[in-house]
């Protein structure tokens, strides 16, 4: 039995048609998602990007290729982390560049979907049914898949790039293998398939199922026989399998529970998680056909009662058994069914993902199977490619409008979390994140209401206690803040951030002893916590312990040599110790740093006056005046500096000036 290999030369018209289809796919995706470029960092972007220090430099590669488990979405996924590092090198922390990259990667994935479906529908076992129409059907699938509203979370949340890149490498693995099946020189294509699988192993765990998918595609759609498939391409299958499973084994071994979020014994039982997935998969299917109530975060709730999902569970068991039987018998319909279940299996079976038990982004690649099934079935019913493509275009227009509307929700942190709370009011994490978004906008009273609601839903929610404490502190209720911080620490001791803010609250209450004790705990727990070093130095300085304060400020300068405030405070501690020369050196260095505000110029000017550098002090004070003429204390200090500078004008002794 021979494979369908296209031997006719490509005509100019065919090439022009392909370019036109490719442009339409790009234009449609950008039309649907272009507003996402304006979206801020959201949800897991904070831990995966903003707090991920390993993306700050591309060298040495050992660091950028070793993301920490705390970098949600990037931990254990070096390729994802490397892509974020490239974005950081180009855009720093401007989210627009990261969002643009997500859209570009998504376009690339859509192109591969187009090529893959076209090639698969040209294989020997199905070629006669779709002769001459495969490219149009592939384009219809890619268009609808690319702009479907269910993809918005994957595209609009930067850290869900793991789904996009993982999907892209999965698609490339299968595409290159299929091209090898159809090529008179297949070896280079099989090598490409293996390389894509290898990269996929360092991107997303669902790549583990790719060897099974290519084997079933080959048997069901090309050779029609397990024996013939194995005899013809056993080396290619073995090559792809080794390049997939061996690196993936080491990745999983080194990140066995992904920072305490995946695996057994983490608070969510396998049975409960499996029951939850019965509900989740039917939700995914409904949203695939009617994406009306999309949710960013469904929370971490689980189903514990079989009676509430028994019908869904029984249906899934039947579907899985039917798929297994179809795969064994080489049924063509079993290929998209296997694609759907196999790709979902790592995240939607019995291995608990404790932080998100249901997540729409998991449908990024499985959605392709549903779209393929729908488009192919439609074409088999109507039997005319013009009718099929017309219906697909109308459907794409409707989906694009829905996607654009959904994308707008992501443009505001408050808006997306209000939407989430409205749809899942029992999600404590959604209330917490809405509170955080409101607090960022200065809407403290509203934020407090949502922190309180999060605690009502779950009283041992230590993050909510911490953020409630922060909100109370911003309102000036430092006693209430202390209580919230202490409760957070009771639930999870030794949190440096909480201890640091507890120390600040104690300081505002004048409880210096407790404040110093809190800051000392932070410094002991995290020697690199520059804020705690600085705060402790401030407290010790207020009790005239200048020598220890100086040592702490030296540590601050060592950790952050580019921070002018630390150098100014260090200079003042030198002055308190009578070390005028050292103070002058630090003031000179501080004056050279960028980012000085009016208050810093004023403080430098005052310190220079103490040293006796009235003229230099006046220069700093004039800069402060240009930045903020109404700064409290500036006018009096300038008057004093002017008087002293005038008096010093008659003095013939000169002094080296502070560098400007």
Give the pair of three-digit tokens for residue 119: 């090639």
- Cα→Cα distances 346→233, 241, 349, Å: 27, 17, 7
Rounded to whole angstroms, the Cα distance separating 582 from 580 reads: 6
Residue 127: its pLDDT value, please?
87
- Top mean pLDDT of 118-132, 137-151, 351-365 is at 137-151
Cα dist from 574 to 304, 570, 571, whole Å: 64, 6, 5
Q: In this prediction, what percent of the chain has a pLDDT beyond 90? A: 84
pLDDT at residue 337 tops 90:
yes
Peptide bond into 60 cis (omega under 30): yes
- For 138-154, write each residue's pLDDT tens digit: 999 999 999 999 999 99
Least confident interval from 75-79, 197-201, 258-262, 642-646: 258-262
Give ∠ CA 358-362-363 in degrees, rounded to 5.
110
pLDDT beyond 90 at 11:
no
515-549 pLDDT, tens digit per residue, is 999 999 999 999 999 999 999 999 999 999 999 99
Of 460, 461, 500, whose CA–CA distance to 481 is shortest?
500
Label residue 85 exposed, middle or buried (CB < 10 Å: 0-12, 13-18, 19+): buried
Helix H or strand E encompassing 169 = helix 161-182
**Could you tell me the pTM of the whole model?**
0.89
In whole angstroms, how far apart are CA 187 and each of 154, 224, 236, 372? 34, 22, 8, 28
3 state DSSP class of 351: coil
- The number of helices, as runs of H, and strands, as runs of E, in the chain is 30, 0
Q: How far apart are CA 609 and CA 385, in angstroms?
A: 85
pLDDT of 61 above 80: yes
Q: Check residue 611 and give its pLDDT.
A: 92
Q: Is 353 helix (H, G, I), strand (E, B) or coil?
A: strand
Query: Backbone phi, then psi, for 124, in 5-degree steps?
Result: -55, -40
Nearest to 433 by CA among 165, 162, 164, 157: 157
Alpha-carbon distance of 167 to 165, in angstroms, equals 5
**Nearest CA to 420 among 293, 299, 300, 295?**
295
pLDDT at residue 411 greater than cutoff 60: yes
Distance spanning both ends of the chain, measured CA to CA = 83
The pLDDT value recorded for residue 644 is 87
What would the DSSP string read from start to end of 145-161?
HHH-GGGHHHHHSGGGH
3-state secondary structure of 404: helix
Say which range, 61-75, 170-184, 596-610, 646-660, has the weakest mean pLDDT: 646-660
Q: 34: exposed, middle or buried (C-beta count within 10 Å: 0-12, 13-18, 19+)?
A: middle
Q: Return the minimum-mean-pLDDT range out of 20-34, 430-444, 479-493, 636-650.
A: 636-650
Could you give the percent of the chain with pLDDT greater than 70?
A: 94
Chain centroid to CA 209: how far?
24
- The CB density around residue 548, as the number of other CB atoms within 10 Å, is 14
pLDDT of amino acid 8: 45
Mean pLDDT in residue range 303-317: 93
Strand partners, 262: 353
Position 265 confidence tier, pLDDT thresholds 50, 70, 90: low
Q: Is the pLDDT of residue 53 over 80?
A: yes
Residue 1 pLDDT grade (very low, low, confident, very high; cuts 50, 70, 90): very low
Instruction: Tell me what pLDDT residue 456 has.
Output: 97
State the Cα–Cα distance between residues 588 and 620, nearest whole angstrom.
11
Give yes or no for residue 6 having a pLDDT over 50. no
């Amino acid at each position: 039995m021979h494979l369908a290999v296209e031997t006719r030369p490509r005509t100019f018209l065919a090439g022009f048609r392909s370019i036109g289809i490719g442009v339409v796919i790009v234009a449609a995706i950008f039309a649907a998602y272009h507003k996402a470029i304006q979206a801020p960092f959201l949800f897991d972007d904070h831990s995966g990007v903003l707090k991920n220090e390993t993306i700050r430099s591309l060298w040495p590669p050992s660091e950028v290729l070793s993301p920490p488990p705390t970098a949600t979405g990037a931990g254990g996924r070096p390729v994802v982390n490397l892509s974020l590092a490239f974005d950081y090198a180009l855009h720093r922390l401007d989210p627009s560049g990261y969002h643009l990259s997500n859209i570009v990667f998504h376009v690339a994935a859509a192109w591969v979907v187009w090529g893959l479906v076209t090639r698969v529908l040209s294989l020997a076992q199905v070629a006669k049914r779709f002769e001459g129409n495969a490219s149009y059907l592939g384009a219809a699938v890619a268009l609808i898949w690319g702009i479907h509203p269910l993809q918005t979370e994957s595209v609009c949340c930067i850290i869900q790039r793991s789904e996009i890149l993982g999907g892209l490498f999965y698609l490339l693995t299968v595409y290159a293998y299929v091209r090898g099946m159809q090529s008179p020189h297949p070896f280079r294509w099989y090598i490409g398939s293996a390389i894509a699988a290898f990269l996929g192993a360092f991107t997303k765990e669902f790549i583990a199922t790719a060897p099974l998918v290519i084997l079933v595609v080959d048997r069901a759609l090309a050779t029609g026989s397990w024996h013939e498939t194995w005899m013809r391409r056993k080396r290619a299958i073995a090559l792809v399998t080794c390049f997939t499973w061996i690196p993936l084994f080491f990745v999983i071994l080194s990140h066995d529970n992904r920072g305490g979020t995946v695996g057994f014994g983490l608070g969510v039982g396998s049975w409960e998680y499996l029951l939850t997935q019965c509900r989740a998969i039917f939700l995914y299917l409904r949203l695939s056909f009617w994406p009306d109530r999309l949710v960013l975060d469904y929370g971490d709730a689980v189903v514990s009662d079989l009676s509430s999902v028994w019908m869904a569970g029984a249906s899934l068991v039947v579907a899985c058994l039917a798929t297994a039987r179809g795969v064994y018998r080489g049924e063509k319909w079993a290929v998209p069914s296997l694609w759907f279940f196999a790709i979902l299996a790592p995240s939607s079976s019995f291995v608990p993902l404790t932080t998100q038990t249901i997540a729409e982004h998991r449908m990024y690649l499985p959605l392709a199977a549903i779209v393929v099934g729908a488009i192919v079935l439609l074409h088999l019913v109507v039997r005319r490619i013009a009718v099929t493509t017309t219906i697909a275009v109308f459907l794409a227009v409707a989906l694009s409008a829905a996607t654009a509307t959904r994308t707008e929700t992501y443009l505001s942190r408050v808006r997306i979390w209000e939407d989430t709370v409205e749809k899942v009011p029992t999600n404590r994490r959604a209330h917490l994140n809405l509170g955080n978004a409101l607090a960022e906008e200065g809407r403290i009273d509203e934020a407090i209401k949502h922190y309180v609601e999060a605690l009502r839903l779950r009283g041992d929610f230590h993050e909510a206690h911490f953020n409630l404490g922060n909100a109370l502190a911003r309102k000036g209720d430092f006693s209430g803040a202390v209580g919230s911080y202490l409760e957070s620490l009771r639930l999870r001791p030794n949190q440096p951030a909480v201890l640091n803010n507890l120390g600040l609250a104690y300081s505002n209450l004048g409880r210096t002893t407790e404040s110093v004790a809190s800051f000392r705990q932070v410094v002991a727990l995290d020697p690199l916590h520059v804020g705690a070093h600085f705060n402790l130095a401030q407290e010790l300085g207020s009790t005239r312990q200048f020598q220890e304060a100086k040592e702490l400020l030296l540590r601050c300068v060592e950790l952050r040599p580019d921070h002018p405030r630390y150098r100014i405070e260090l200079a003042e501690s030198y002055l308190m110790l009578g070390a005028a020369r050292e103070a002058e050196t630090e003031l000179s260095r501080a004056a050279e740093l960028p980012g000085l505000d009016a208050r810093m110029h004023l403080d430098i000017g005052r310190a220079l006056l103490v040293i006796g550098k009235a003229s230099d002090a006046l220069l700093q004070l004039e800069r402060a005046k240009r930045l903020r003429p109404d700064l409290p204390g500036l006018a009096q200090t300038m008057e004093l500096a002017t008087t002293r500078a005038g008096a010093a004008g008659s003095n013939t002794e000169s002094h080296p000036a502070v560098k400007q």
